[in-house]
Amino acid sequence: MNPWINANVISIKRWNNNLFSLFLNAPIEPFYAGQYTKLSLYDIDASHQKRIQRAYSYLNAPSDKKIEIYIVRIENGKLSNLLYNLNKGDMVFIKKKSFGFFIINEIPDCENLWMFATGTAIGPYLSILQERKNIDRFNNIILIHAVKYQNELIYLPLMKKLHNEYNGKLKIQTVTSREKNINSLTGRIPFLIETKKLEKHIGLSINSKNSHVMLCGNPEMVKDTYSFLIKNRNMIKHLRRKKGNITMENYW
């Protein structure tokens, strides 16, 4: 049984017209960093009460009891628009137990752990990196956040703070696909891997001998990057029963 329970909106930070973070308080069961929950509200416009629900990852570390969820408002998206208009003190439903296996305990030991995210899919990595459990076994962790425009890098300050706290173990790299910026690489993730621009810039290579790749975000990015890595870098999907080098999560 995994009931819906009430979550209280502590605050909402609307970063711009589309991107926002919800801060919630709810008696959920303990979860693992990288997992997701479901939020729901009733559609008040429907003739009969209809629950609208969507999956969202936690961005907060599990040890931080204030739930933080980073969300993009989808044009005509029913739930994301309702959530965007919530205010302090409002109520939303959340699942008591969390979901998913995109967690650090599922990643085998390796030298270089590559974390690729597009858009709001940066959330699970920030949860993992803030929790900092079972992660010192990697020599290097490379967090790559790809967005369309530089002003969508909402969590860059937290990425920089984590970079400093990890004392050289964590490298961070931003990517903007639709504009050039001095501190970001330009283009899409598969292109930056294929052309080796990313690896040259970071100074580490993505290979089946010493790397594990985590992919989270736009399903097309996940699919295209995965296909490239299996065809060109000799990598395979990681399964519990068969060790591999790629772990994936589609985001919407």
Interacting residues with ligand NAP (CB under 6 A): 18-19, 72, 74-75, 118-120, 146-148, 152, 177-178, 188-190, 218, 220-221, 224
Q: 127 vs 218, which CB is nearer to ligand NAP?
A: 218
Backbone angles phi, psi at 232, to 5 degrees: -110, -15
Min CB(187)–ligand NAP separation in Å:
8
Min CB(9)–ligand NAP separation in Å:
21
Q: 49 vs 76, which CB is nearer to ligand NAP?
A: 76
Q: 104 vs 159, which CB is nearer to ligand NAP?
A: 159
Min CB(212)–ligand NAP separation in Å:
20
Q: 148 vs 161, which CB is nearer to ligand NAP?
A: 148
Partners of 112 in the beta sheet?
Answer: 140, 211
Give the list of residues 6+ apart from residue 10 with CB closer than 8 angstroms, or none. Answer: 23, 24, 25, 66, 88
Q: 3 vs 157, which CB is nearer to ligand NAP?
A: 157
Min CB(108)–ligand NAP separation in Å:
25
Min CB(117)–ligand NAP separation in Å:
9
**Taking CB positions, which residue lies at the least distance from ligand NAP?**
119
Q: 32 vs 118, which CB is nearer to ligand NAP?
A: 118
Min CB(214)–ligand NAP separation in Å:
15
